[in-house]
Amino acid sequence: MEKQRLQHLIEKVLSGRASVQEQQELDEWYAMQGQEKGFTNELSGEKKQALGKQLFQNIEGRLQEEQEQEATVTPAYELPARSYSKWLVAAAVLVLLAAGGFYFFNQKPAAPQVTAAVWAQHNTTSDVEEIHLPDQSTVWLNAGSSIRFDTAFTSGKREIWLEGEAYFDVAHLEGKPFEVHTGRITTRVLGTAFNIDAYDLSKDITVTVRRGKVSVSDSTKELGQLLPDQRIICRADGSFQQDTIAAGDYMAWSAGQLVFRDMQFREVAKRLERKFGVTFVFRNADIADCPVTASFEPTVQLKDILEMIALTNGSTITRDGTSNQYIITGTKKCK
């Protein structure tokens, strides 16, 4: 806006002669000032504050005098009371322009400060990682897994996005629920300890509760509420199965242990692949379907684990040369 036009509009508003259109024009100009740089950018903050304070004192006195003089006159446009401080700012701008071409920084009330989201991501390869969240909750992230979250929890909720497997020990915070998103499934808690297995988001997602209570839902409905030693398996087709188990077995990995209870050999192999950085190839599908029940302490080597499994299910497990690939063969059929 031209300086002369701006001066003309402010004078009309101060004198009470501005039309609705003129008031709107000045309103629009004022709204733009938070987006445009002014002529006082080179002034220090202290000089701006001092100059602004003096201007506001002068202009406020002028307005009070005019209001007393025109108390009995009804203006063509009555300035709303809520705009009073805004026009003090506009008048300050006018005085600065007339005094020497400066443009006073606008004094609109500061907008409430909004905490910016600061995202953190943790990825694991072959080791279990213990992660402490800003709310004092703890996460044990299994091998080949990742989580990401807003460290400030700016949404009002404590939200975590998980791919893979993690064990959560959640600190109780009243009014600030804890949510874990795993593809189509969301697990909500207030304070509890639970495990989520979601390595392949296109297949089964399993939630197991060790302590407290959780709610598990998909994008449309709640699938179930779990208490300690309960588990829900959410399938890709939308169906689900809830049962009772020994939750500690499903969370033993967080302490470095390997515990398998009637787990298919192919699933056991996947866990060993992630933990030891190797690959397995099944030459016989029947062997891959065999259930495995075994437990191993953190210090047990892969070679010993494979020997024990082969002994129990009749398979043959051989290393392919010097590579990290193992070939599994056998003729035993599992019921």
Write the secondary structure of the chain as one string of H (helix), E (strand) and C (coil).
CCHHHHHHHHHHHHHCCCCHHHHHHHHHHHHHCCCCCCCCCCCCHHHHHHHHHHHHHHHHHHHHHHHHHCCCCCCCCCCCHHHHHHHHHHHHHHHHHHHHCCCCCCCCCCCCCCCCCCEEEEECCCCCEEEECCCCCEEEECCCCEEEEECCCCCCCEEEEEEEEEEEECCCCCCCCEEEEECCEEEEECCCEEEEEECCCCCCEEEEEEECCEEEECCCCEEEEECCCEEEEECCCCCEEEEECCHHHHHHHHHCCEEEEEEEHHHHHHHHHHHHCCEEEECCHHHHCCEEEEEECCCCCHHHHHHHHHHHHCCEEEECCCCCEEEEECCCCCC
> Which pLDDT score, from 0 to 100, does residue 106 have?
44
Q: How many CB atoms lie within 10 A of CB 107?
A: 17
Fill in the amino acid letter for 229.
D
CATH number of 257-329: 3.55.50.30
Q: What is the pTM of this model?
A: 0.60
> Which pLDDT score, from 0 to 100, does residue 127 have?
85
What is d(CA 111, CA 84) in angstroms, rounded to the nearest whole number?
A: 18
Fill in the amino acid letter for 109.
P
Domains 119-251 and 257-329 share a fold: no
Per-residue pLDDT of the chain (335 residues; tens, 9 = 90+): 566 776 676 666 555 566 656 666 766 665 565 444 443 444 455 544 544 444 444 445 555 555 555 554 444 444 444 444 445 545 544 544 444 444 444 444 444 455 566 788 999 888 899 999 999 999 999 999 999 998 888 888 999 999 999 999 999 888 889 999 999 999 999 779 999 999 988 789 999 999 999 999 998 899 999 999 999 999 988 899 999 999 999 999 999 999 998 899 999 999 999 999 999 999 988 889 889 999 999 999 999 999 999 988 889 999 988 889 999 998 766 65
> Which pLDDT score, from 0 to 100, does residue 119 have?
85
Of 177, 173, 197, 174, the residue nearest 185 (C-alpha): 197
CB-based contact 221:227 (threshold 8 Å): no
Structure token pair of residue 132: 């402490």
> Which pLDDT score, from 0 to 100, does residue 118 have?
77
> Which pLDDT score, from 0 to 100, does residue 91 have?
53
Domain map (residue ranges) of the chain: 3-100, 119-251, 257-329
> Which pLDDT score, from 0 to 100, does residue 5 have?
77
> Which pLDDT score, from 0 to 100, does residue 23 have?
63
What is d(CA 248, CA 253) in angstroms, rounded to the nearest whole number?
A: 9
> Which pLDDT score, from 0 to 100, does residue 27 have?
62
CATH 2.60.120.1440: does it fit domain 119-251? yes
> Which pLDDT score, from 0 to 100, does residue 25 have?
72
Of 272, 264, 310, the residue nearest 288 (C-alpha): 264
CB-based contact 324:330 (threshold 8 Å): no
**In angstroms, how far is CA 108 from the centroid of its own chain?**
31
For the chain, the first-to-last Cα distance in angstroms comes to 85
Q: Which residues contact 148 (CB under 8 A, 6 or more apart)?
A: 119, 120, 121, 122, 160, 161
What is d(CA 74, CA 180) in angstroms, rounded to the nearest whole number?
A: 63
Of 167, 72, 165, the residue nearest 124 (C-alpha): 165
CB-based contact 264:299 (threshold 8 Å): no
β-strand pairing of 158-169 with 178-182: parallel
